[in-house]
Amino acid sequence: QSALTQPASVSGSPGQSITISCTGTSSDVGGYNYVSWYQQHPGKAPKLMISDVSNRPSGVSDRFSGSKSGNTASLTISGLQAEDEADYYCSSYTSSSPRVFGGGTKVTVL
């Protein structure tokens, strides 16, 4: 199963909004509402930020939001803060395997 496609890096200034895309196919992202997003700081374990395309688990800031259009899912971070600097991974259910991850996007706060 091929990994989902994410941009290698995205950057923004504090207070700005950024969006990270996650492109798959009709066999994964486009076919199911089972897209999730994980945040990973260096040397730390991943943290679930968004599940089922747009649901925020308890405790996750409402500055994080998710959406999907066709075969592309998106994670938007509003009011960018220094603590948001991390790697972000999308994940989707697929027709041929339980889960596949994207290649990851490094978010830099300028």
Partner 1 sequence: ELRLLESGGGLVQPGGSLRLSCAASGFTFSSYAMIWVRQAPGKGLEWVSGISNSGGSTYHADSVKGRFTISRDNSKNTLFLQMNSLRAEDTAIYYCAKTIGYYYYYDMDVWGQGTTVTVSS
* Least distance (Å) between residue 86 CB and partner 1: 13
Which member of 13, 42, 45, 110 binds partner 1 (CB under 8 A)? 45
Taking alpha carbons only, the member of 24, 21, 6 closest to residue 94 is 24
Question: Does 108 help bind partner 1 (rule: CB under 8 A)?
Answer: no
Instruction: Output 16 or 97, the one with its CB closest to partner 1.
Output: 97
CA dist., res. 72 & res. 25, Å (int) = 8
Taking alpha carbons only, the member of 1, 73, 28, 47 closest to residue 65 is 73
* Least distance (Å) between residue 82 CB and partner 1: 23
Question: Interface mask (CB under 8 A) for partner 1, residues 74-93, using x and -?
Answer: -------------x-x-x-x
* Least distance (Å) between residue 20 CB and partner 1: 14
Rounded to whole angstroms, what are the CA distances from 43 to 39, 89, 102? 12, 15, 19
Residue 98 CB: number of other CB atoms within 10 A? Answer: 9
Residues that bind partner 1 (CB under 8 A): 1, 3, 34, 36, 38, 40, 45-48, 51-52, 57, 87, 89, 91, 93, 97-104
